[in-house]
Structure 1
Amino acid sequence: MLLAGWGFALAALAHLALVLDLLLVRRRKAPQLPAGRALMAAAMLSLLWCAMTAVALLIGLPSALAGVDLANLLRLGAWTAALTVLVVPPGRRWPQGNSGAVAAISALLLALALAGQVLRLAGSWSPGPQLTGLTFLTLSVLALVQLEQAVRALSEDARWSAKPAGVAVVAMLCFDLYMYSNSAFFGGIDGDVFAVRGFVEALVAPSVWISLSRQGDGPFRLRVSQRAAFHSVALLLSGGYMLFVAGVGYYVRFFGGEWGAALQKGTIFLALLGLVALAVSGSMRARLKVFLGKNFFRYRYDYRDEWLKFTNALSSQATPQELGLQIVRGLADLVESPGGALWVSPSVDAPFRQSAQWNMPPAHGAEPRDGTLVAAMKEQGRVVNVDEWRTDPARYGDLAMPDWLAQVPRAWLVVPLRSGDSLTGFVLLHSPRAEFELNWEVYDLLKTAGRQAASFLAQMMATEALLEARKFDAFNRMSAFVVHDLKNIVTQLSLMLKNAKRLQSNPEFQQDMLMTVENSLEKMRQMMTQLREGVAATDGTVGVDLQQLVRRAEELANGQGRQLGVRASEPLSARGSAERLERVVGHWIQNAIDATQPNQDIWVELGRLGGYAALKVGDRGKGMTAEFVRDQLFRPFQSTKSTGMGIGAYESQQYIHELGGKISVDSVPGEGTLVSMLLPLFEKPSGSDLEILRTPGA
Structure 2
Amino acid sequence: MSSLGDLICCATYGLFALYFAQRLLRRSLPVSALALVFLAALTASSAWAGLALVDGLRHWSDHLPTWIVPGLDLLRFGCWFALLLMLLPPPRRGGGLGWMRPLVALAVLGQLALIIAAEALPPDALVRPRAFGALGLAVLGLVLVEQMLRNTAVDARWNAKPFCLGLGGIFIFDLFIGSQAALFQSFDGDAVSVRSLVHAAAVPLLFVASRRQGDWRGKLHVSRAAIFHSAALLLVGAYLLIVAGVGYYVRYTGGQWGRALSVALVFVALVALTLLVASGSMRARLRVYISKNFYSYRYDYREEWLRFTRLLAGSVEPEHTAETAVRALCNLVESPSGMLWMQRSADGDFAQAARWNLPAQPGSEPRDGSLASFWQERAWIIDVDEWRVRREAYPGLDLPAWLVDEVRCWLVVPLLVRESLIGFAVLGKPRAVVELNWEVRDLLRTAASQASGYLAQAQATEALLEARKFDAFNRMSAFVVHDLKNIVTQLSLMMKNAKRLRDNPEFQQDMLDTVENSLEKMRQLMLQLRQGDKPHGVTSGVDLEQIAKRLAAASASKGRALELALQAGVSTRGHAERVERVLGHVVQNAFDATPASGHVRLILDAEGSQARVRVEDSGCGMSEDFIQNRLFKPFQTTKAAGMGIGAHESYQYVQELGGKISVQSELNRGTTVTLLLPLFHAQADAPLAVLDAR
Q: TM-score scaled by structure 1?
A: 0.92
Contact 2:569/2:683 (8 A) holds in 1 = no
Contact 2:89/2:222 (8 A) holds in 1 = no
Q: Tell me which residue corresponds to 2:37.
A: 38
Could you tell me the percent identity over the aligned residues? 48
Assess, with a 3 A threshold, how the Cα gap between structure 1 residues 205 and 506 changes in structure 2: closer, same or farther.
same
| Deviation readout 1:184-211 (Å, 9 max, x if unpaired) | 1112222333344333312322212222
Contact 1:384/1:413 (8 A) holds in 2 = yes
Assess, with a 3 A threshold, how the Cα gap between structure 1 residues 151 and 684 changes in structure 2: closer, same or farther.
closer
Report how many aligned residue pairs link the two structures: 681
> Which amino acid counterpart does residue 82 of structure 1 have in structure 2?
L
Asked if 1:82 is matched to 2:83, the reply is: yes
Assess, with a 3 A threshold, how the Cα gap between structure 1 residues 412 and 661 changes in structure 2: closer, same or farther.
same
Match of 1:342 among 305, 320, 340: 340
Q: How does 1:478-557 map to 2 (within 5 A)?
A: 478-531=476-529, 534=532, 536=534, 538-557=536-555
Separation (CA, whole Å) in 1 of partners of 2:70 and 2:287: 39
Q: How does 1:166-177 map to 2 (within 5 A)?
A: 166-177=164-175
Assess, with a 3 A threshold, how the Cα gap between structure 1 residues 226 and 596 changes in structure 2: closer, same or farther.
same
Contact 1:38/1:85 (8 A) holds in 2 = no
Assess, with a 3 A threshold, how the Cα gap between structure 1 residues 36 and 8 changes in structure 2: closer, same or farther.
same
Q: Tell me which residue corresponds to 1:358.
A: 356
Using the TM superposition, give the Cα deviation of residue 555 of structure 1 relative to its aligned residue in structure 2, in angstroms: 1.9
Separation (CA, whole Å) in 2 of partners of 1:184 and 1:562: 112
Separation (CA, whole Å) in 2 of partners of 1:352 and 1:34: 65
Q: Tell me which residue corresponds to 1:262.
A: 260
> Which amino acid counterpart does residue 22 of structure 2 have in structure 1?
L
Assess, with a 3 A threshold, how the Cα gap between structure 1 residues 34 and 496 changes in structure 2: closer, same or farther.
farther
Q: How does 1:320-399 map to 2 (within 5 A)?
A: 320-399=318-397
| Deviation readout 1:117-149 (Å, 9 max, x if unpaired) | 134346688752211111010011112112222
Bigger shift: 41-50 or 445-454? 41-50
Contact 2:414/2:448 (8 A) holds in 1 = yes
Q: Tell me which residue corresponds to 1:692.
A: none
Q: Tell me which residue corresponds to 1:669.
A: 667
Separation (CA, whole Å) in 2 of partners of 1:128 and 1:35: 35
Q: How does 1:283-682 map to 2 (within 5 A)?
A: 283-531=281-529, 534=532, 536=534, 538-682=536-680
Q: Tell me which residue corresponds to 2:688.
A: none
Using the TM superposition, give the Cα deviation of residue 606 of structure 1 relative to its aligned residue in structure 2, in angstroms: 0.8
Contact 1:52/1:65 (8 A) holds in 2 = no
Separation (CA, whole Å) in 2 of partners of 1:675 and 1:100: 86
Secondary structure of the residue that 2:99 maps to in structure 1? helix
Using the TM superposition, give the Cα deviation of residue 90 of structure 1 relative to its aligned residue in structure 2, in angstroms: 8.8
Assess, with a 3 A threshold, how the Cα gap between structure 1 residues 320 and 660 changes in structure 2: closer, same or farther.
closer
Secondary structure of the residue that 1:607 maps to in structure 2? strand
Q: Tell me which residue corresponds to 2:689.
A: none
Q: Tell me which residue corresponds to 2:48.
A: 49
Separation (CA, whole Å) in 2 of partners of 1:280 and 1:374: 40
Contact 1:250/1:264 (8 A) holds in 2 = yes
Separation (CA, whole Å) in 2 of partners of 1:617 and 1:343: 62
Bigger shift: 305-314 or 78-87? 78-87
Instruction: Extract unaligned runs of 5+ from structure 2.
Output: 685-694
Assess, with a 3 A threshold, how the Cα gap between structure 1 residues 58 and 477 changes in structure 2: closer, same or farther.
farther
Separation (CA, whole Å) in 2 of partners of 1:487 and 1:590: 13
Using the TM superposition, give the Cα deviation of residue 369 of structure 1 relative to its aligned residue in structure 2, in angstroms: 0.8
Separation (CA, whole Å) in 2 of partners of 1:274 and 1:185: 19
Q: Tell me which residue corresponds to 1:207.
A: 205
Secondary structure of the residue that 1:660 maps to in structure 2? coil
Assess, with a 3 A threshold, how the Cα gap between structure 1 residues 639 and 290 changes in structure 2: closer, same or farther.
same
| Deviation readout 1:281-320 (Å, 9 max, x if unpaired) | 2221222122111111000011111111111000010234
Separation (CA, whole Å) in 1 of partners of 2:65 and 2:202: 23
Using the TM superposition, give the Cα deviation of residue 657 of structure 1 relative to its aligned residue in structure 2, in angstroms: 2.4
Separation (CA, whole Å) in 2 of partners of 1:677 and 1:266: 91
Secondary structure of the residue that 2:427 maps to in structure 1? strand
Asked if 1:274 is matched to 2:289, the reply is: no
Separation (CA, whole Å) in 2 of partners of 1:520 and 1:538: 17
Using the TM superposition, give the Cα deviation of residue 182 of structure 1 relative to its aligned residue in structure 2, in angstroms: 0.3
Using the TM superposition, give the Cα deviation of residue 475 of structure 1 relative to its aligned residue in structure 2, in angstroms: 0.5
> Which amino acid counterpart does residue 74 of structure 1 have in structure 2?
L
Contact 1:22/1:31 (8 A) holds in 2 = no
Using the TM superposition, give the Cα deviation of residue 449 of structure 1 relative to its aligned residue in structure 2, in angstroms: 0.7
> Which amino acid counterpart does residue 107 of structure 1 have in structure 2?
A
| Deviation readout 1:452-472 (Å, 9 max, x if unpaired) | 111111111111111111111
Bigger shift: 592-601 or 24-33? 24-33
Separation (CA, whole Å) in 2 of partners of 1:188 and 1:22: 38
Assess, with a 3 A threshold, how the Cα gap between structure 1 residues 685 and 653 changes in structure 2: closer, same or farther.
closer
Separation (CA, whole Å) in 1 of partners of 2:4 and 2:505: 117
Root-mean-square deviation over aligned CA pairs = 2.4
Separation (CA, whole Å) in 1 of partners of 2:621 and 2:189: 103
> Which amino acid counterpart does residue 407 of structure 1 have in structure 2?
D
Using the TM superposition, give the Cα deviation of residue 631 of structure 1 relative to its aligned residue in structure 2, in angstroms: 2.6
Assess, with a 3 A threshold, how the Cα gap between structure 1 residues 85 and 516 changes in structure 2: closer, same or farther.
same
Separation (CA, whole Å) in 2 of partners of 1:218 and 1:169: 14
Using the TM superposition, give the Cα deviation of residue 43 of structure 1 relative to its aligned residue in structure 2, in angstroms: 1.9
> Which amino acid counterpart does residue 38 of structure 2 have in structure 1?
L
Contact 2:17/2:39 (8 A) holds in 1 = yes
Bigger shift: 50-59 or 463-472? 50-59
Instruction: Extract unaligned runs of 5+ from structure 1.
Output: 687-698
